[in-house]
Structure 1
Amino acid sequence: MHRDSRPPRHAPRRIGLARRAVLAVLAVAAALVVLGPDGRAQQPPEDVTVLRIATGPTGGTYFPIGGLIANAISNPPGSRPCDRGGSCGVPGLIAAAVSTSGSVVNVQSLKAGTADMALVQADVGFWAWSAEGIYSGGEAVENLRALARLYPESIHLVARTGSGIESVADLKGKRVSVGEKGSGTLVEARLILNAHGLKLNDVKPAYIRPGPSADRLADDELDAFFFVGGAPIQAIADLAERDEITLVPIDGQAADKLAGVFPYLTHNVIPADTYPNQTRAIATLAVGAVLLTTAEMSDEMAYAITKSLWHPTSLELYRSGHPGGRKLDPSRADDDTGVPLHPGAKRFYDERARIAAEETAPVAGP
């Protein structure tokens, strides 16, 4: 693509379906706020439950996917019935996606009760629940419970073309965004640098979100940045439209060692043409994205949310709402969640397995 044909660096982006879904849910929630005689907001009606889903930066994948999930599981009073083309969510539930810096902060929000559900990297969730890894020596967040494994998140290492960065080892001495503090990206960036014999002080680290990272790389203020998310990531796609970038492979012996030591890291490929002007597939690593809650959620609510999460109408919403939504996989939803399944979610998956077994069982003869 010729540079003159690229859109302006700070051109406004189109509001996608996922973001519109979030805004719609928030609008419904706002409409249900009742002001008392003193002008202060009062509690919503008793038949309405409002839940907050902690997601991630707006330029990543967690936020739009979280918005689609919020839309799928919500079913405000007065909604058209599911069998008549309306909402197939949980009756009386309004879920709202909230942008955050990512997995580590999301775990803290669940622990503090400031979020009801959260998208979290499987390894971060496991370490928090077991007080291992980055949480070693701290207090285990033992009440974490999983509702579903959603999709694999690819670890992206994006470099400015012409920066001389063709491998992780080439990052030494370079200006590198390693993810915002409190993000899962920072966790993975440290692991990958260490596996290649580098520490954070071997690079010139910046701790910023994917959108600003992309802008700074385009302005020649960064040489590279890490980001973990389900491909394609909008901020990277927008960057690739307007500037020449290189996706750097994360492979070889170092990647093999990481995948062998950490059970939630797996070999992964970002297919060719995932991003504009990306002509070849890129080998990397991936970690599962999971939807977590806490043991305080009732079994009935967890069951209803999980059932709505994987309703056929919800699957269609994910597929049409965001490219990453096509990767949400109900067949693996109860695998490798990192923390124990919530009993309500387990009930749904057990029922699903029993129904599948009955449908495939041979018919007894006369």
Structure 2
Amino acid sequence: MTLIGVVVIAVALIAVITLAKAVRIVPQQRQDVVERLGKYKRTLSPGLNLLVPFIDAVRTKVDMREQVVSFPPQPVITSDNLVVSIDTVLYFKVVDSVRATYEISSFLQAIEQLTVTTLRNVIGSLDLERALTSRDEINRHLSGVLDETTGRWGIKVTRVEIKAIEPPASIRDSMEKQMRAERDRRAAILTAEGHKQSVILTAEGDKQSAVLRADGDRQARILQAEGQAKAIRTVFDAIHQANPSQKVLAYQYLQALPQIAQGSANKVWIIPAELTKALEGMGGALGGLSQMVGDLPAPEAADQASQVEREAAEAAQAAADAAQQIHDEVRVAEAQATGSKGPKGLPAPEPVSPTSLVEDPADQRERG
């Protein structure tokens, strides 16, 4: 290779290197700070830019996008002398690449130290309870202080967030116990309110049910009373329209006495004063029946007379037994009331003959 060839190759190589040094392509959202002979010359904007080879040099490449920096947990002492660990996240962006390059040597480190210092000042003026419940206030205060300080460096702090505030282990245990007690209290209150509402609704239901049952019973009793009244009126009207004789009524009275005496709920029997009149009426009724039978033919009259006498004798015997039982119970009651050993208050009643009850009163008067 001749000397001319070597020179040509060297010139071409120098031209390529010079062209590479002269042409600079800057991507979007980035600015390059250019120095000429060690002095700030200009800032390259995104796109194609030309530099003076071997004279201009790029000092820094500044990212103009918003950046996120997460700082490690920092121990901070509150106003009530409790050490808490605080995690913070910082959002910022460079608005002036020249000042960010020449005003501070490392703006990321400076922002971190400034954040820690400001955080300690803010948390140190608060107690633990307020620090835990005032995150928004702390964030606004931190953002304002940092933005004011970093503005001189060409940096804009857009937001500061506290990720976590961790109190000491003993405080966490106490807080957990307090939270559990509060949850238990709220649960007990809700349970009591639910039980109260349930009891109120149950009582309202029972009240309405009782009112409806009482109204139904009242209507049933009214209807039953109306039915009984109507039945009594019907029987009363039928009796008065039929106009029965006293003899028939006396006979039916004697027939009803045994049924009255057999009742298990009848502890006291009241014998009306008209019993003698009823028996006399019975005798008169039997006498009238005898006269009616006498008008019949002999065989039929004999059969009917014997049947009537048997029924009358049975009714009279039942009435006499009932009267004797009543008399005995009265004597026993008097003996118990006076404290005596045996019933001595009343004399023994004279036995009543059933045949005497069925005789005609006129025959009894003639015999007497």
Q: What range is the shorter-chain TM-score in?
A: under 0.3
Higher normalized helix content (fraction of residues):
2
Say which one has the larger Rg: 2
Per the normalisation by structure 2, the TM-score is 0.21
Per the normalisation by structure 1, the TM-score is 0.21
Higher relative contact order (CA 8 A, sep 6+): 1
